[in-house]
Amino acid sequence: MLRIGIIGVSGYTGVELARILANHPNAVLTLATSRQHEGRLLSEVYPNLKGCIDITCTNPDQDTLARQADFFFTAVPHKTAMTIVPPLLEGGKKVVDLSADYRIHDVAIYEQWYQKHTSSELIGEAVYGLPELYRDKIKTARLVANPGCYPTSVTLGLAPLLRNKIIDPATIIIDSKSGTSGAGRSANLATLYCEVADGFRAYKVGGTHRHIPEMEQELSVLAGDSVTISFTPHLLPVSRGILSTIYAKNISGAGESEIKSIYKDAYMNETFVRVCPSGNYPATQHVRGSNFCDIGFSLDTRTGRVIILAAIDNIGKGAAGQAIQNMNLMNGFDERAGLLGAPFFP
């Protein structure tokens, strides 16, 4: 059994990693760090895990930490990750980093949207952890940068169309809606129940969300040209789930059946991408608690636009699920190990 350490277990992503690992056939959680909850049972912090996982939160120094696991998930905020990841790699460990710190290949762009990068020497080595695009590189990577939640839905939704030059990249507009768990588990007035429930709003309007450079990087690779997007995130009164509604001009003349074939071909061997039957569209409640990305599309012949819909669980395929998928690949496990539980509905 591979010994796993989660650095930063107290957030919603941390606990979802622990939940998946509790039933993983090849891995066992041996380290769960949390400054805030040091000394407490993880199942006290998250009573759902009672009887499922028996581990105490610790806050060891870097040396101790490295001895207690062979493989690490860093589920800490960006900037913090930069200081934790390098010594782990030096100690011979493999890491999936769930922060944004190693996702952006161009340091200048990273520093423009985030802050100064203090371990930029690792950026070149880090592999962007979207298995459906970079499976082979992930298999041999020491450091995988786990994608952002919005970028996962958007990149999987657009990849087949961009690769096949179906749409005009200059016309891409992305309207995304995320569940509240994406905002994390910290005491915050804006995500109190009464502020979110029975309501809906946009945030970071006008091209200011930090996932934009990440999406533009990946979409540009797929398009073979520099892509600039409009992206507007919204906050849904649900705990889990992202639905991205994506608009772009059809410049190919392709009809519905051709586009359907393109999606089918692209994802026929992908366990975790499900292309919806014609006339059906994804719903976040159908991917809840899973590592699936559901994709549907429609051709609006009145306007010549394609509308693509992609749904994920933001802490599943959008974070912890995908991280486990990457871990599986990096260690030669069955890529699906631990991830085959069906989404729960209702």
Determine the Cα–Cα distance for residues 344 and 306; give it in Å rounded to an integer: 30
Mark 181-199 as b/e (b = at least 16 C-beta within 10 Å).
bbeeeeeeeebeeeebeee
Q: Give the residue among 17, 4, 326 at the shortest CA–CA distance from 152.
A: 326
**Which is the catalytic residue, given 52, 57, 149, 276?**
149
| Least distance to a second copy, CB of residue 87, Å | 31
Say which residues have a Cβ less than 8 Å from residue 342's Cβ, sequence separation at least 6. 290
What is the smallest separation between the CB atom of 179 and a second copy, expressed in angstroms? 8
Identify whether the C-beta of residue 173 lies closer than 8 Å to the C-beta of residue 258: no
Inter-helix orientation angle 149-163/211-223, to 10°: 20
CA distance 327 to 291: 14
Pairing of strands 293-300, 305-312: antiparallel
* Nearer CB in complex with a second copy: 105/281: 281
- Torsion from C-alpha of 185, 191, 194, 199, nearest 10 degrees: -130
Residue 137 vs 210, nearer CB to a second copy: 210
Q: How far apart are CA 317 and CA 69, in angstroms?
A: 24
Query: Which residue, 91 or 304, has its beta carbon nearer to a second copy?
Result: 304
- Among residues 90 and 203, whose Cβ is nearest to a second copy? 203
* Minimum distance from residue 297 beta carbon to a second copy (Å): 8
Q: Closest distance between a second copy and the C-beta of residue 195, in Å?
A: 7
**Cβ proximity to a second copy, 141 vs 337, nearer residue:** 337
CA atoms within 13 A on the CB side of 7: 29
d(CA 232, CA 53): 38
- Residue 57 is among the residues annotated as catalytic for this protein: no
Whether 131 contacts 147, CB under 8 Å = no
Q: Which is nearer to a second copy, 221 or 293 (CB)?
A: 293
Which string of DSSP letters, residue by residue, matches 80-148?
HHHHHHHHHHHTT-EEEE-SSTTT-S-HHHHHHHS---S-GGGTTT-EE--HHHHHHHHHT-SEEEPPP
Nearer to a second copy, 107 or 183 (CB): 183
Catalytic residues: 149
